[in-house]
Each structure stands twice: as structure tokens, then as C-alpha cells.
Amino acid sequence: MAIDFEFEIRRSQRRKTLCLQIRDGQVQVMVPARTGEGQIQSLLHKHTPWIHRKLQEQAARPAATPKAYVNGEIYSYLGKEHRLKIIEGPPWPAERVASDLVVTVPAKLAREARQAKIRDRLYEWYRQSALEEFQARTEHYGQRLGVAPKSVKVKSYRRRWGSCSARGEISYNWRLIIAPGPIVDYVAAHEVAHLVQHNHSPEFWGLVEGLMPDYRSQQAWLNKNGGTLAI
């Protein structure tokens, strides 16, 4: 069977085994540094049906609709819709007023500059709001397990929703704050559980299930709809 898809080979001195990974419609082959081309080709041929299936599944997932940054446009925060309200005035941070997201921009900006300013204001507001939410939810689940991270941060990850370092530092993808609250809770529970089990062993998933018994449904939602979480 011919290989009819593009793939990227990533070699590592630390890796001991061959591994396939498909993210955002891209096939990645992670291999030890000295792996021969024949082994890589053999791995790809062996798993071609699985790769095709995964690529089709990812292509079928919903994607984010590009934003125009205009009055009345709908933005989601913790799964709830908010209408963008643009006003002109001196520089001022974006803020949530009832069900509106209010963004203040200088008058007489050219169209592209105006859109860029609105986008930047929204980005700042989402990141700050995300940090506050993640800190609160991390503390909540940490108290339930009797642990606490050294720090909680938000980052602009491209392909992950959260991480927990070996030093106990937890980071979240700020875009999660666009998703419904239970999704945020799932990722928070997931990362806090890593403070106890820094792996994905059955014991780890047992901790996650203890914190959130229906975590599998939240996990499935995120796998399917993660591509829609954008502003």
C-alpha cells in the first residue's frame, strides 16, 4: 500500500521506541535518533489504515469561524454567549458588562488597525479572566487531593490544553476559557491529579475519576470541539 499522506519525522536521542502521532491533521513519526528509513516506512505502511481513519476523523471536526471584530458579534466565555459591543474613547481594557463584552478603541482608526486593536483587547481580557478561573479551579481540586501547585499560569499552547511540570508548575491554554465550565473543570482536575501521579497510569485516571466521575464525556467534547475554541 502506497503512502499517500505527508508526514514529519522527529528524531530524539532520548526516545527508545517508535511512535505515531496525529495532531491538527499532521502525521508525526517520533523515533530514536538512529532509526533507519526502512523501519520508518515499515511503521507507516503497517498503520496506514489507522492513519487514514484518524485523518478523516480530524478533518470532520468542527473548526472555529473567523471573527470580523464588529459590533454584535458573538463570543463565548465559559460556554455562554456574549455580544461584542465596541465604543470609541480613550484606551481602556475590555470588560464584561452583563452579557456584553465591551471593547473601547480610539476613534478614526483605519479598518485593519481597528480590528487589530479589538482583537488585542479581547485577547488581553480572555487571558486575564482565564488565569483567575484556572487559579480558582486548581485550588478547588488541589484541596480535594491535599496538594497545591507551585504556580498556575496561562499560555498560548497550540496543541495542548494543560501541562504539569515535574516541579509542580501547572499551565493552561487560555483558549479553554471559551469552553463550557465542565470542560475547564476536567482539565483542571487532570492537571491537579498529575501533582500526585505524574503519568497516565490507571492510578492517575482513578484520581481524575474521583474528582470528576463523568470526565470521559468532557474529554470527548474537548477532543471533538477543541478546534472551535478561538477568538
Please tell me the number of Cα atoms within 13 Å of 181 on its side-chain side.
5
- Residue 83: band (very low, low, confident or very high) from pLDDT cuts 50, 70, 90: very high
Q: Could you tell me the strand order of the sheet in which 19-23 lies?
A: 7-12, 26-32, 19-23
Nearest to 48 by CA among 8, 18, 20: 20
> pLDDT tens digit string along 23-77?
767 888 888 888 888 898 998 888 888 888 887 777 767 777 889 999 999 999 9
Nearest to 192 by CA among 214, 180, 208, 175: 208
Residue 74's DSSP bridge partners are 83
> pLDDT tens digit string along 134-192?
999 999 999 999 999 999 999 998 778 999 999 999 999 999 999 999 999 999 999 99
Q: Dihedral of the CA atoms 161, 168, 28, 208 (nearest 10)?
A: -60
Distance CA 231, CA 68 (A): 10
Rounded-to-5 percentages of helix, strand, coil across the chain: 45, 25, 30
Walk me through the domains of the chain, giving residue ranges and CATH numbers.
7-60 (no CATH), 74-125 (no CATH), 130-228 (3.30.2010.10)
Q: Which of these ranges, 80-84, 114-118, 163-167, 227-231, has the smallest mean pLDDT?
A: 227-231
Which residue in the block uniquely carries the three cell numbers 470526565? 215
